[in-house]
Structure 1
Amino acid sequence: MIEIYTDGASSGNPGPSGAGIYIKANKKQYEYAIPLKDLSNHEAEFYAVIKALEICKNEFPGEILSFRSDSQIVVNTIDRDYTKNKTFLPLLEKVRELSTHFAYVFIKWIPEKQNGNADRLARKAIQDQK
């Protein structure tokens, strides 16, 4: 099982954004700080999950993925596989499509203080754009 911690951040709402992805797999850690376009904070959180799925599709195809996020909106939307929000719907559809490449994908909410690595990486991705 692959453990993936994701976080999104934006400088402004919307504003320059970043995705932080911290992966624990096979007794190794992988870190990704991915700059994103101008997005809201919630959109950046979704893009962090999407980017992580894209990375895992290449690096860990067919594995069981266990996501951790401190965004309740993202966790609830993906867990329930439903949103009324027109902005989030295409993002949820992208998560659905990418999830088909894995044996199983689940997501769990964690408190912010347990998501420090992903938070640090998301903030770094914003700084890298300046």
Structure 2
Amino acid sequence: MIEVYTDAACSGDPGPSAAGIIIKKKQMMKEYQFYLGSWTNHEAEFLAMIRALELCQKIYPNEIISIRSDSQIAVDTMDKRYTKNEKFLPLYQQILELEENFSLVFYKWIPDKQNKNADRLARQCLQHKQYPDHL
């Protein structure tokens, strides 16, 4: 099973946003950060999940993926498999399409304190105006 921690940071709502992603498999841990463009905080949280699944698709296809996020709205949407929010709908649908590349994807809400490293990466990317594809 691959553990994936995602978080997003925004400057304004909407405003410039970035994602921090940590992927763990056994003893291996890799960190990534992405500049996302101008989004609301909630949209950026979904985009962080999308970027994480895109990474996992390249590195770990057909694996079991556990996405861990401190975004209650994103985790609840994916758990319920439903959203009424028209802004979230295309992001939600993109996640569903990406899920097809794995044997199983599940989502777990975690408190902020358990997601500090992903948060640090997202904030770093945003604050330093460095927009690398990865570290």
In structure 2, C-alpha distance between the alignment counterparts of 1:28 and 1:15, rounded to whole Å:
33
User: What is residue 122 of structure 1 aligned with on the other side?
Assistant: 122
Alignment of 1:83-122 (within 5 A): 83-122=83-122
Instruction: Compute the displacement of 1:33 (Å).
Output: 1.0
Alignment of 1:46-65 (within 5 A): 46-65=46-65
Task: Check conservation: 1:35, 1:128, Cα contact below 8 A.
Answer: no
Instruction: Compute the displacement of 1:47 (Å).
Output: 0.4
Do structure 1's residue 32 and structure 2's residue 32 form an aligned pair? yes
3-state secondary structure, aligned to 1:102: coil
3-state secondary structure, aligned to 1:19: strand
- Kindly report the root-mean-square deviation, in angstroms, between the aligned alpha carbons of the 2 structures: 0.9
**TM-score, normalising length: structure 2:** 0.94
3-state secondary structure, aligned to 1:24: strand
Cα offsets for 1:58-82 (capped at 9, x unmatched)? 0001000011100000000011110
Using the aligned pairs only, state the percent identity. Answer: 57
Task: Check conservation: 1:2, 1:65, Cα contact below 8 A.
Answer: yes
3-state secondary structure, aligned to 1:12: coil
In structure 2, C-alpha distance between the alignment counterparts of 1:125 and 1:107, rounded to whole Å:
24
Specify every segment of 5 or more residues in structure 1 that has no aligned partner in the other structure, as ranges: none
3-state secondary structure, aligned to 1:98: helix
Instruction: Compute the displacement of 1:26 (Å).
Output: 3.4
Specify every segment of 5 or more residues in structure 2 that has no aligned partner in the other structure, as ranges: 131-135
Count of equivalent residues: 130
**TM-score, normalising length: structure 1:** 0.97
